[in-house]
Structure 1
Amino acid sequence: MPSTESAARALQDRAVLWSIGEVRATDVVAGACDALVAGLDTPALRILAACTRAEADDDVPELLPPALHELGLTFYPFDSADGREAAVRALAARMLASELTPRELAFRIHQRFGHELLLAEPLAELDDEYGILEYDGRTSAQVDADVTAEALRLTRRPEVPADTTDTPA
């Protein structure tokens, strides 16, 4: 059984991927169910998890914001700038979890955001590099390694600095 922290992160990722059209509303409902099984439990989460497949497309837009709020998670409005950046990070995490290959990650990022999103630009450029492998002397494995390094950079959680306040002597 996943920890409550990893279940919350997975629900957050599904929610942000839904907000950019990368996953279906039923995937968000499945994430809510997974969160309940992992031990997260709030009234709005229970309601979201109870959605049927037939109801998901209509109900998720209304039920997701309060469910995330009750869990202390962020709701990103549909296709918002912050949501697009969070989605890039969520897709990178999926690649690192072996749900996508490096080439699939670069392609999806390039296809969805083009060269318009600064955070995603290195991955869009790497997708371009896959297309010119035969001309530039690099191998697919070398570009895969660069994509993986970029995914690691994108998913690295910022460290909280130690308290540097002076204590009175």
Structure 2
Amino acid sequence: MSEAKTAQALHQLLLSAGLSRLGVKPLATLIDAACDALVAGIDSPSLRDLAGHSAHETYVDVDEIVEATFRELGLPTSSLADEKAVLYALEHYCLEYLAGRMRACDLAAWAHSNIGHEGPEIAQRIVDLEDDVDSGRLAAKRFESEAQLRVREFLRARDMR
């Protein structure tokens, strides 16, 4: 497999773990990502174990296996820390918004209530969207274009990390 496909499979595994941990996506998403990683040529005993789990389980049931998988693959297990998991969730919702599957106001509300002003700095411009409209700093008619701008900035910043 190419390096790009391997990197994409690892990113999806990290993203799916964060989303499943937060309950944003079902465990099936993580199990699918584990299967996709195996197909991409990534292998470890714990990854095979994770790929074989039932989608009817919960994240708590596989938490230790996920941690072991990340250790075996040389991935930082700290990627599953709350801050990282929230950023994976925000990335997911930003992509959903750009694909037209989520409204800007719903993204802003989710970010404001789930990340908040004490959350990671990289997310604050999206968190602030709701406040900026409510306070009048951002005209309602400019909300959509400003949301797109801030989402794209966030995603670019995430790519640079």
On whether the aligned pair clears a TM of 0.5, the verdict is yes
Is the 1:26–1:57 Cα contact (8 Å) retained in structure 2? no
- Aligned-pair identity in percent equals 29
* Paired residue type of 1:15: A
Report the secondary structure of 2:43's partner residue.
coil
Number of aligned residue pairs: 154
Amino acid at match of 1:61: D
Matches within 5 A, 1:64-143: 64-76=66-78, 80=81, 83-85=82-84, 87-89=86-88, 91-92=90-91, 95-96=94-95, 98=98, 101=102, 103=104, 104-119=106-121, 120-129=123-132, 136=139, 138-143=141-146
Pairwise CA distance, 1:27: 1.8
1:23 & 1:40 partners in 2: Cα distance? 23
Alignment partner of 2:63 out of 61, 64, 70: 61
Q: Hey, what's the Cα distance between the residues in 1 that align with 2:57 and 2:139?
A: 50
Query: In the alignment, which residue of structure 2 is the partner of 1:14?
Result: 16
The two structures have a TM-score, normalised by structure 2, of 0.75
Contact conserved, 2:93 with 2:102, CA < 8 A, in 1?
A: no
Q: CA RMSD in A?
A: 3.1
Q: Kindly indicate whether the alpha-carbon contact (under 8 Å) linking 1:44 and 1:67 is maintained by their aligned counterparts in 2.
A: yes
- Pick from 33, 36, 39: which aligns with 1:34? 36
| 1:49 matches 2:48 | no
Q: Which moved more, 1:56-65 or 1:91-100?
A: 91-100
> Can you give the 5+ residue segments of structure 1 that lack an aligned partner in the other structure?
159-169
Instruction: Quote how far apart the aligned CAs of 1:64 are.
Output: 0.5
Corresponding residue of 1:146 = 149
Deviation at 1:59, TM superposition (A): 2.8
Q: Give the counterpart letter for 1:125 in structure 2.
A: D
Cα gap change, 1:122 to 1:85, in 2 (>3 Å): farther
Query: Secondary structure at 1:156's aligned position in 2?
Result: helix
CA 130–10 in structure 1, closer or farther in 2 if over 3 Å, else same: farther
Would the alpha carbon gap of residues 13 and 143 (structure 1) be closer, same or farther in structure 2, given more than 3 Å must change?
same
Q: Aligned AA for 2:87?
A: V
CA deviations on 1:114-134 (whole Å, 9 max, x unpaired) are 22214222211113345577x
Query: Larger C-alpha radius of gyration, 1 or 2?
Result: 1
SS at match of 1:142: helix
- Structure 1 residue identity aligned to 2:66: L
- 1:21-78 Cα offsets, whole Å, 9 max, x none, are 3223222112111111222111110000000123344531121101111111122486
CA distance in 1 between counterparts of 2:157 and 2:92 reads 8
